[in-house]
Amino acid sequence: MRYEHVPWKNNREVNMAQTKTFSIQGMHCASCVRILEKSLGKVPGVERASVNLATGKATVVCGGQVTDEKLASAVANVGYKAMVGHQEQTLDEEKEQKTRELKDLRTKVLVSLGLAAPIVWGSFPGLIQTSPSFLQDFIVQFLLALPVQFWAGLTFYRATIPALRHRTANMDTLVALGTSVAFIYSTVVTFFPQMVSQAGIEPMPYFDVTAVIIGLILLGRYFEAKAKAGTSEAIKKLIGLQAKTARVVRAGKEIDISIDQVQIGDIIRVRPGEKIPVDGVITEGESSIDESMVTGESIPVDKTRGDKVIGATMNKSGSFLYKAEKVGQETLLAQIIKLVEEAQGSKAPIQRLADLISSYFVPVVIMLAIATFVSWYVFGQQSAFLFAMLNSIAVLIIACPCAMGLATPTAIMVGTGRGAEHGILIKDAESLEIANKINVVIFDKTGTLTNGKPIVTDIVTSDKAKVTKEKLLQLAASLEKGSEHSLAEAIVKKADEQGVALYKVTGFKAIPGHGVEGMVGKQKVFLGNRKMMEKEKIDIEPTRSHLVGLESAGKTVMMLAVDGKLIGLVAVADTVKDTAKDGVLALQKMGIETVMITGDNARTAKAIAGQVGIKRVLAEVLPQDKEAEVRKIQAEGKKVAMVGDGINDAPALAASDVGIAMGSGTDVAIEAGNITLINRDLRSVARAVDLSKKTMGIIRQNLFWAFGYNIILIPVAMGVLYPLTGWLLSPALASFAMAASSISVVANSLRLKNARL
Amino acid sequence: MELKDLLVIGLGFVGIIFTYWFFLGKKPSFAEATGGQGIDVVVEGGYSPEVISIPRGKTTKINFIRKDSNSCLEEVVLPDFKIKKYLPLNQKVTIEITPQKSGEFGYSCGMNMYHGKIIVR
């Protein structure tokens, strides 16, 4: 990893110089850096180009005439790919374009409804008598409707014409078709009334219908676009979390540099109230850090030297120095963003039916509109032509393919975003859908339900030995100092915490499967299990009752003997996570069976399971057999979620219906599971299932509404209720219902934003 | 039933058949990419070409160029590849995919109105 500079090409002042920073794909080594810098440096107008292998970015200082395209082509010429202003640029562009579109739409809505109002006043039965006579003039109505149809409504034609050229159709086609029919008929009535009269039809234009339809549909689009912007808020918020600069210590000086220029190994200063720029490990100082924005964990975490910090989290109290370990696309935040983006681009299986229907929908609606026209014309009584025309227009307008298209993706967008806010990363929409059907959750024990690090839980002294607990710990820790066993580590750590000074040990010997022995001064000391005591013929009777009690609580007990006499016991155990019991209980309350799987013996396993409230225990399962156990439960006809750390239980996670990987700070095993919990909070398992249930609930409501709306209202618009009830749907009312339908689907999805998890 | 009624029935019938043939009976445009080659897809009233054939196990660049201001087409979604991209008007947006499985994979606009297909061979 290196950072190289190309020297200035010349010393003249750079007029109108600008700095462009962009990502480059395809770099592997330092020679790539040189090739790229050389190629970029050759672009006329480029004053300086530096390429950073670590961050995968190029920084170019150049004159105003150098375009992004020229830089991209210089990069492409040597076989790499430049993402010139990629993510930020696209986001800004998107935002800018959206703002422009919304503004434009708003103007069109105001103008079209503003022009529709006088037309309605001058033509609507009941209102017409109150209107000034000029508004009743057909030519005035035509002039008012003209800009609505061809300026505000231009958007429908612009979408329809190229679509027809490709022999496809969408909602705009239906609107363009419906309003055009009404507009052309009304124009004929206005300018050639005798033609209509001769056909026995009262010459009455429908400019009110065309203007109101266009006005209301555009109004609907306006609200829909505003609501849709809310569905992608979570990802925008995540991208916005990224710090812009970092205060890096270089050559003994602290300098502020752009985040893109931070390299792995840089020492970065973070002061109170500042954002941590990239992922790394604290080298000096300590602080309390608010990680809620990334992990969803609400309580600030105290961190000190050696602890990992996450980029984009907030330093609260202290000032510290840390070493950058992950930069650019490698940071936790970048990975989270990528995962959420991918999930939002995936498709839930529930959408399949909507997909199938949407590909036939618009042509079928056009065919139904033709059938409606024919039926009303042939079988209608009086004014058959007008009924035929208005009802077929109503059919074209009421049909709402958008609601079906929006039903699932908007809910997935909001649901996955909401999950990310709580430290629940969902890999794809399919996982979200399956999680809703889960009825068994299997927890791996070590490192998942427990902290995975044994600690000393009990120190028991023998009544006869007359030693203090401190002395016992002192002897045990002195002996274990030379051992590498994880239990030894726990004992030495305990002594360290209590400030106990250690003895010098001579003749240390570790006996595998038994324990350790050594000389402390002139005393021969043994620390080990029952087997060791039996071997050394040491009587364990004085502490037997304690021993049995501790062992049945699932703890590992080691006995300490000095000169052939037992003086006490040290019990070591893995502790359960604070959130384990509540996490298990929350799942049980949802009616989900909880199971624990472990390689430990049945007694230890049961003790831990008892502490967290799990009844079904699969003990003494070798790591390679965990997958088979998952399959056995699936064979019972159950949908299984497996919760593990994603490292040594990856096959079991993969075999389960939904693999849930517990991440740990920056080492997120994102690839391991279908769902990754970055906050290590076991209550998040139930939250993930809850989120899935809520999202799927919303999707079902949306699909039910979108299908139901079309299935019920299209026949109503066709006039099937007319023979029974005399009901017909006016085209203007149809446009209102259509606009309301797609807004309601998006608004329903947005409810997930406020869902309690 | 009068003659004009019969005429309207006849025209209606023809209209329905025509609609079916016009929208549902068309042959989608097709393009094939060989290894390393990119394919340009013009986004205007749909996707052109609609069907793209690409090789398995090789990275293929698909360049989407949206020329249609219709907001329906502003996003392209390739769900099987977990890709959703915003397509700014009149700009080339490149998507790189390296399919590992053969088969047919659909893609669509953000509102699922316009459809295309990727055939991995």
- Residues in B touching A405 (Cβ below 8 Å): 110-113
Q: Do B19 and A366 touch (CB under 8 A)?
A: yes
Residue-wise pLDDT for A587-631, tens only, equals 999 999 999 998 877 888 888 899 999 999 998 888 788 899 999
Q: What is the mean pLDDT of residues A67-84?
A: 77
Question: Which string of DSSP letters, residue by residue, matches A55-91?
Answer: TTEEEEEE-TT--HHHHHHHHHHTT-EEETTHHHHHH
Options 2.60.40.420, 3.30.470.20, 3.90.25.10, 1.10.10.10; CATH of B30-120: 2.60.40.420
Question: Which string of DSSP letters, residue by residue, matches A511-531?
Answer: ETTTEEEEEETTEEEEEE-HH
Residue-wise pLDDT for A248-291, tens only, equals 998 888 888 888 888 899 999 999 888 999 999 999 998 999 88
Cβ atoms of residues A602 and A640 within 8 Å: no
Spatial separation of the C-alpha atoms in residues B121 and B22, rounded to whole Å: 29
Higher pLDDT, A641 or A335: A641
- Residues in A touching B112 (Cβ below 8 Å): 351, 354-355, 358, 404-405, 409
Q: Do A165 and B45 touch (CB under 8 A)?
A: yes
Which pLDDT band holds residue B37 (cuts at 50, 70, 90)?
A: low
Of the given ranges (A19-33, A542-556, A623-637, B8-22), which has the lowest mean pLDDT?
A: A19-33
β-pairing, B51-54 vs B30-32, is: parallel
Q: What is the DSSP letter of A323?
A: E
- Residues in B touching A159 (Cβ below 8 Å): 45, 68-70, 72
For residue A232, report the phi and psi dihedrals to the nearest 5 degrees: -105, 15
Cβ atoms of residues A385 and A375 within 8 Å: no
For residue B76, report the phi and psi dihedrals to the nearest 5 degrees: -120, 135
Please check the confidence at residue A540 and state whether its pLDDT lies above 60: yes
Residue in A with minimal Cα distance to B10: A374
Please check the confidence at residue A6 and state whether its pLDDT lies above 60: no
Q: Do A345 and B83 touch (CB under 8 A)?
A: yes
Q: Do B5 and A378 touch (CB under 8 A)?
A: yes
Q: Do A172 and B110 touch (CB under 8 A)?
A: no
Nearest to A562 by CA among A534, A511, A521, A501: A521
Please check the confidence at residue A546 and state whether its pLDDT lies above 80: yes
- Residues in A touching B79 (Cβ below 8 Å): 345-347, 429
- State what percent of residues in chain A have pLDDT above 70: 93
Q: What is the mean pLDDT of residues A298-309?
A: 86
- In angstroms, the Cα distances linking A362 to A171, A395, A404, A746, B116 are 7, 11, 12, 21, 16
Q: Do A159 and B68 touch (CB under 8 A)?
A: yes
Nearest to B87 by CA among B120, B52, B116, B56: B116
Spatial separation of the C-alpha atoms in residues A659 and A649, rounded to whole Å: 10
Provide the pLDDT for residue A210: 93
Q: Do B45 and A162 touch (CB under 8 A)?
A: yes
Could you say which of A260, A279, A428, A444 is catalytic?
A: A444
Residue in A with minimal Cα distance to B45: A163
Please check the confidence at residue A522 and state whether its pLDDT lies above 70: yes
Out of B12, B23, B110, whose CB is closest to A167? B23
- Residues in B touching A401 (Cβ below 8 Å): 111, 113
- Residues in A touching B78 (Cβ below 8 Å): 345
Out of B9, B22, B70, whose CB is closest to A374? B9
- In angstroms, the Cα distances linking A305 to A219, A321, A497, A680 are 57, 9, 17, 21
Q: Do B16 and A370 touch (CB under 8 A)?
A: yes
Q: What is the DSSP letter of A501?
A: P
Out of A93, A162, A167, whose CB is closest to B44? A162
Exposed, middle or buried: residue A202 (CB in 10 Å: 0-12, 13-18, 19+)?
exposed
Most confident region among A62-71, A196-205, A424-433 by mean pLDDT: A424-433
Interface test with A, best of B13, B82, B91, B97 (most A CBs within 10 A): B82
Q: Do B71 and A404 touch (CB under 8 A)?
A: no
Spatial separation of the C-alpha atoms in residues A378 and A50, rounded to whole Å: 77
Please check the confidence at residue A452 and state whether its pLDDT lies above 90: no
Spatial separation of the C-alpha atoms in residues B87 and A435, rounded to whole Å: 32
Residues 72-101 of B with CB under 8 A from A: 72, 77-86, 88-89
Q: What is the mean pLDDT of residues A170-194?
A: 92
Q: What is the mean pLDDT of residues A313-320?
A: 89
A574 included as an active-site residue: no
Provide the pLDDT for residue A574: 85
DSSP-H helix ranges across A613-730: 626-635, 650-655, 683-718, 722-725
Please check the confidence at residue A31 and state whether its pLDDT lies above 70: no
Provide the pLDDT for residue A482: 79
Q: Give me the residue label for tokens 């299935």.
A: A711
Spatial separation of the C-alpha atoms in residues A278 and A755, rounded to whole Å: 31
- Residues in A touching B83 (Cβ below 8 Å): 342, 345
Residue-wise pLDDT for A268-277, tens only, equals 999 988 899 9
Of the given ranges (A39-53, A323-337, A656-670, B30-44), which has the lowest mean pLDDT?
A: A656-670
Domain boundaries, chain B: 30-120
Cβ atoms of residues A303 and A318 within 8 Å: no
Residues 43-72 of B with CB under 8 A from A: 44-46, 48, 50, 67-72
Please check the confidence at residue A669 and state whether its pLDDT lies above 80: no
Interface test with B, best of A370, A372, A742 (most B CBs within 10 A): A370
Spatial separation of the C-alpha atoms in residues A145 and A116, rounded to whole Å: 7
DSSP-H helix ranges across A42-198: 68-77, 86-123, 138-147, 154-165, 171-191, 193-198
- Residues in B touching A354 (Cβ below 8 Å): 112
Of the given ranges (A97-101, A207-211, A575-579, B60-64), which has the lowest mean pLDDT?
A: A97-101
The pair of structure tokens assigned to B51 is: 């069907």
Please check the confidence at residue A666 and state whether its pLDDT lies above 70: no
Residue in A with minimal Cα distance to B91: A90
Q: Give me the residue label for tokens 């600069």.
A: A245
Question: Which string of DSSP letters, residue by residue, matches B18-75?
Answer: HHIIIIISPPPPEEE--TT-EEEEEESSSEESSEEEE-TTS-EEEEEEE----GGGSE
- In angstroms, the Cα distances linking A78 to A20, A40, A71, A353, B62 are 19, 10, 11, 47, 20
Spatial separation of the C-alpha atoms in residues A598 and A547, rounded to whole Å: 23
Could you tell me the end-to-end alpha-carbon distance of chain B, in angstroms, rounded to an integer?
57
Closest approach of chain B CAs to the CA of A579, in angstroms?
33
Strands (E), A379-463: 424-426, 440-444, 450-461
Tell me if chain A has a CB within 8 Å of the CB of B28.
no
Closest approach of chain B CAs to the CA of A405, in angstroms?
5
The pair of structure tokens assigned to A485 is: 């066993």
3-state secondary structure of B8: helix
Cβ atoms of residues A570 and A557 within 8 Å: yes
Measured at the CA of B84, the angle between CA B80 and CA B85, to 5 degrees, comes to 140
Out of B9, B12, B88, whose CB is closest to A97? B88
Please check the confidence at residue B1 and state whether its pLDDT lies above 80: no
Residue-wise pLDDT for A147-159, tens only, equals 999 999 999 998 8
Of the given ranges (A46-55, A496-505, A586-595), which has the lowest mean pLDDT?
A: A46-55
Indicate the average pLDDT of chain A. 86
Provide the pLDDT for residue A515: 86
Please check the confidence at residue A46 and state whether its pLDDT lies above 90: no
- Residues in B touching A374 (Cβ below 8 Å): 8-9, 11-13
Provide the pLDDT for residue A369: 96
Q: Do B70 and A159 touch (CB under 8 A)?
A: yes
Out of A170, A347, A374, whose CB is closest to B114? A170
pTM for the model stands at 0.78
Provide the pLDDT for residue A671: 66
Q: Do B8 and A378 touch (CB under 8 A)?
A: yes
Q: Count of CB contacts below 8 A, A vs B?
A: 127
